[in-house]
Structure 1
Amino acid sequence: MATEESWHPVEDGKKLYTKTWRTAGPAKARLVFIHGFSDHCNTYNTFFPTLASKGIEVYTFDQRGWGRSVQKPSEKGNTGPTTRVLEDITSFIKTVIPSPIPLFLMGHSMGGGEVLCYAALGPADIRKHIRGFLLEAPFVDFSPASKPSPIVVFAGRLVGKLLPNVQKVNKLDVKLVSRDAAVQKQMEEDTLCHDTGTLEGLSGLLDRTGDLASGKIQIGDAAGEGGVTRIWIGHGNKDGITNFHAAKKFFDELSAKDKEFKTYEGHFHRLHDEPGTEKQEFMDDVANWILTRSVEPVQVEASKPKL
């Protein structure tokens, strides 16, 4: 297995830090991964190397406002609105398509919410390349343990319309992130996990979450490659950051025929970073879901009769 680091220039001139985990032999699938809030692509420890060891190449990047894509303090959390977030994802996916092997899109937490939005709202000419969508503890709603008060949300949105680039620190409780003390320490000490968002970026996150939780954003049964929606969601039922029950409700209401929801009993927010061997079950589940759908025949959209 080898890793590669690079910089991806987006259309507006912004450069995003990227990293790729390549397989030792011929790859069986490609995975584009979108990280979460106050996170970056180098915090995923054994997850990406494990996928690569199983034949899955991982392509990921530090989102605008996060990780090494931040070049100066004023850029911290400056993600832009949801349109900009989705455009950055599109720009990055374009670097790996057309893919000679099946391509999958996955997101964790905030990134999971973004991937759900992308499955519903992303450009059809890009989504047709995506074999399946995977979500790890997607941000469909806040867990009660982390939910801000309605007053705080209202005030933040109001001020955000006037001063979109004002930064606000929203400290994640590392004790809710994982039960592994070493992971808690890692997240606490990592200066790239800066817990800072702009009011515009935070408002966009809240809007996406609200639209997902309310059902305003819906994913049909033709979101991906071959006119088929394939979707997998994994969520710990003791997650104190994102809402397990909201994610399950969203899943239950999906019209997709190929869908799977996996409950991880007693697990917290970073399923790939739970203690000891418990994370291995999650990583194996992700790899097996991808590899199973990498060998299945692709269903092709029925041709429309010519008028």
Structure 2
Amino acid sequence: MASSGSTSYNEAWLPGPGGHQFYTRTYAATGTARATVVFIHGFAEHVGRHEHAHRYWQTKDITVFTFDQRGFGRTALDVKHKSKDASYGKETFEDQIRDIEFWVRYVKKEHPDLPLFLAGQSMGGGLVLSFPTQSKPPPSKESVELVSGIIGMSPLLLQTTPVSKLLRKAGTALAAIAPWLPFPADVPPEDLSHDQAVVNAIDPDPLIKKHGTAKGLSDMLGMGENLLYGSYKNWPKKLPVLLIHGTEDKVTSHKASEELYGKLDAEDKKLSLYEGAYHELTNEPDGVKERSWDECIAWIHAHVPEAQPEMARL
């Protein structure tokens, strides 16, 4: 267990689908838990980069469960604990959706009386928004029905500056013959946040690599397009959704979030744009990160029945 002041988290290596080993963290609510959140991080990062946010959320009656995704962070790089076939960027869209379904079921089993929400950043945002729209499993209809609401944070639907069509075609062809071949994918650190300390911490971080794989990148870029231009039609009408995005995001397109918001046939939906903010709202200075956290927390609380709290468990 790691701790700081009145907040703490449990870290554990747990087997996921097929026994694949995942590095996980649970930030138990410090008071009476009102909800659980399964959080999905973005491309080429890891859950440790969101620790400050999750420590904040746990003080607001929310238990957060998160994990380094298949192909990223410690799940891919920890020599002592990782699965034998794990390597950086080695994942597929279907694997990722299956993994999310597995951990949704795991958290719901741990906290059966609490509403469960999915939240994701960037690639993770695209994944959680895609989760309930798949026309065939995974996930199952029963798994989708376990989710009380979804939050997409700067979701990857389209890139702000798309890669060329020629490069996309080459990448797709390469993915078919050499899916796990490392493929450069460098996001300039200065495009992520206005906070220079955050920018300076990117390159020295040993858990961040500047590449993916041909298959992983092809699936990631296709995921958002498939959602925006097709599978959005499968959104469950009664499933609430919150989209938040910075208007100066240089990585993922806030206009695509606006387009998806307009298309979703959801009874309860909200789009919140942060004027002038960059890609990582959770790392923006001048009160922006706190404002984005408070908005998400308030939205979750508004979708939680008052009569079903659970005492926090560490």
Structure 1 residue 230 displacement after superposition: 0.3
Verify the 8 A CA contact 1:215 1:250 in the aligned structure 2.
no
Corresponding position of 1:305: none
Deviations 1:6-30 (A, max 9, x none): 1121232210100011122221110
Corresponding position of 2:272: 262
Verify the 8 A CA contact 1:157 1:203 in the aligned structure 2.
yes
Matched, 1:54 2:60: yes
Secondary structure (helix, strand or coil) at the match of 2:10 reads strand
Q: 1:232 to 1:297 in 2, by over 3 A?
A: farther
Corresponding position of 2:181: 166
Structure 1 residue 221 displacement after superposition: 3.4
Identity of aligned residues (%): 29
101-110 vs 37-46, which deviates more?
A: 37-46
Measure, in 1, the Cα distance between the counterparts of 2:30 and 2:231.
43
Corresponding position of 1:28: 34
Q: Which of 78, 95, 98 is the equivalent residue of 1:84? A: 95
Q: 1:219 to 1:134 in 2, by over 3 A?
A: farther
Structure 1 residue 160 displacement after superposition: 1.1
Measure, in 1, the Cα distance between the counterparts of 2:278 and 2:173.
32
Runs of 5+ unmatched residues, structure 1: 223-227, 299-307
Verify the 8 A CA contact 2:232 2:260 in the aligned structure 1.
no
271-280 vs 60-69, which deviates more?
A: 271-280
Verify the 8 A CA contact 2:13 2:22 in the aligned structure 1.
yes
Matched, 1:130 2:147: yes
Q: Number of residue pairs matched? A: 290
Matched, 1:8 2:8: no
What amino acid sits opposite 1:93 in the alignment? V
Structure 1 residue 216 displacement after superposition: 4.0
What amino acid sits opposite 2:119 in the alignment? M
Measure, in 1, the Cα distance between the counterparts of 2:25 and 2:51.
13
Q: Which of 95, 99, 104 is the equivalent residue of 2:117? A: 104
Measure, in 1, the Cα distance between the counterparts of 2:265 and 2:106.
30
Measure, in 2, the Cα distance between the counterparts of 1:218 and 1:8.
34
TM-score when normalising by structure 1? 0.90
What amino acid sits opposite 1:89 in the alignment? I
What amino acid sits opposite 1:171 in the alignment? D
Verify the 8 A CA contact 1:8 1:92 in the aligned structure 2.
no
Corresponding position of 1:302: none
Verify the 8 A CA contact 2:70 2:86 in the aligned structure 1.
no
Runs of 5+ unmatched residues, structure 2: 1-6, 80-84, 309-314
Structure 1 residue 132 displacement after superposition: 0.3
Alignment of 1:68-217 (within 5 A): 68-71=74-77, 75-79=87-91, 81-98=92-109, 99-121=112-134, 122-144=139-161, 147-217=162-232
Which 4+ residue blocks in structure 1 deviate beyond 4 angstroms? none
What amino acid sits opposite 1:57 in the alignment? T
What amino acid sits opposite 1:172 in the alignment? V
Measure, in 1, the Cα distance between the counterparts of 2:23 and 2:115.
24
Structure 1 residue 296 displacement after superposition: 6.6
Measure, in 1, the Cα distance between the counterparts of 2:165 and 2:142.
38
Secondary structure (helix, strand or coil) at the match of 2:117 reads strand
What amino acid sits opposite 2:283 in the alignment? D
What amino acid sits opposite 2:178 in the alignment? L
Secondary structure (helix, strand or coil) at the match of 1:97 reads helix
Corresponding position of 1:304: none
Aligned-residue RMSD, C-alpha:
1.7
